[in-house]
Copies of this chain bind each other. A is one copy, B any other.
Amino acid sequence: MATQRILDFLATRRPNGPCLVVDLDVVRDNFHAFEKALPDSRIFYAVKANPAPEILRLLATLGSSFDTASVTEVEMALDAGASADRISFGNTIKKERDVARAFDLGIRLFAVDCVEEVEKIARAAPGSRVFCRVLTDGEGAEWPLSRKFGCVPAMAVDVLRHAKALGLDPYGVSFHVGSQQCDLTAWDRALGDAKRVFATLAEEGIVLKMVNMGGGFPTRYLRDVPVAEAYGRAIFSALRKHFGNQLPETIIEPGRGMVGNAGVIKSEVVLISRKSDEDKVRWVYLDIGKFGGLAETMDEAIRYPIVTPHDGGEVAPCVLAGPTCDSADVMYEKTPYPLPLSLTIGDEVLIEGTGAYTTTYASVAFNGFEPLRSYVI
């Protein structure tokens, strides 16, 4: 997944220290694949996945809309050239003064998942559109979501009814099937729930217009994942099944699926050692770890492909760890990672599929290590 452009960049520029390189050509291809797979859906790129200005500018030019988590992200999307009507404030947890700031910036579309949040929006962003996030079970996702966001469908009905009563525009329902979702039927179950909320409110004369189908579109790490087209077909047939001929507006919010495979992290092997002469497993320490950008190795959830200069040779299992004095900064230990026996201190390795959720997760300066640098080419 390291494109020739990325390899050329690294070979020519030889940046010192760990860094992420993102190839905009891959982002462009991903955007077009989503457009083609779901031609009737608006694409709201999840800015949090990678807010690099170059990525936001490219996507703004291509016609993307933006899902934002904070006022800062709203401002980044505006700076990138998106108009306010192409920006959603998608975080269900907002300070009222941040809602007011977003409203001042022109934002009129807000996520909610409880009446308390509706009341903030009604006060600070009167008349705006709100969509209510509904809890889904996230079965089949590699990273099932907790119950942190959303409410049960029955409560969503109350929330949207309350929005109407307070002068807001109850615009629709959102869900998130779970990150890195590979089970195509997950959208079917969630769309069934969404439809029931539509139907219940329609009986009271409240006509919802939009379903925000969130993210969850996977990127390829070590295992193959279904292609965008397969998602498109599954989602379209689920929409037809539940909504018949009255298809709602739909939104998708790809983040990982848009930029994950566009990025590669270059890292250096700092140390290879054993803990005792009898140990079978080597410890391989890189100059990047959990606190330097690879936070998603938490619980060994995501297993990134690693390319070394010795691939093809004999391999043996390694525990992979980061460079900090923190004993929690270990990436793969429960399931050791097979790496070439000839791997050597000082070797450069490429960690692929790292375009999403790496740079901004990096800690400010833990152990004095600077945050992950990023080059967008």
**A interface residues with partner B (beta carbon < 8 Å):** 46-48, 51, 68-73, 76, 90-96, 113-114, 116-117, 120, 135, 143, 145-152, 154-155, 179, 268, 270-277, 283, 285, 287, 291, 295, 298, 321, 323-330, 333, 345-346, 359-371
User: Which of A151, A329, A367, A370 is most buried by chain B, counting CB atoms within 10 A of its CB?
Assistant: A367
Q: Give the interface SS of chain A, mostly helix, strand, loop or mixed.
A: loop
Contact A365 B51 (CB under 8 A): yes
User: Contacts A48-B367, A76-B368 known; A151 to B359 CB distance under 8 Å?
Assistant: no
Question: A90's contact among B325, B327, B330, B365, by CB below 8 Å, is which?
Answer: B325
Question: A367's contact among B73, B268, B273, by CB below 8 Å, is which?
Answer: B73
CA–CA, A103 and B87, complex, Å: 52
CA–CA, A95 and B347, complex, Å: 12
Contact B364 A48 (CB under 8 A): no
Contact A327 B148 (CB under 8 A): yes
User: Which of A90, A143, A270, A359 is most buried by chain B, counting CB atoms within 10 A of its CB?
Assistant: A270
CA–CA, A328 and B73, complex, Å: 20
User: Contacts A69-B367, A148-B283, A345-B116 known; A94 to B155 CB distance under 8 Å?
Assistant: no
CA–CA, A96 and B287, complex, Å: 12
Contact B328 A91 (CB under 8 A): no
Contact B365 A72 (CB under 8 A): yes
- CB-CB under 8 A from A96, the residues of chain B are 345-346
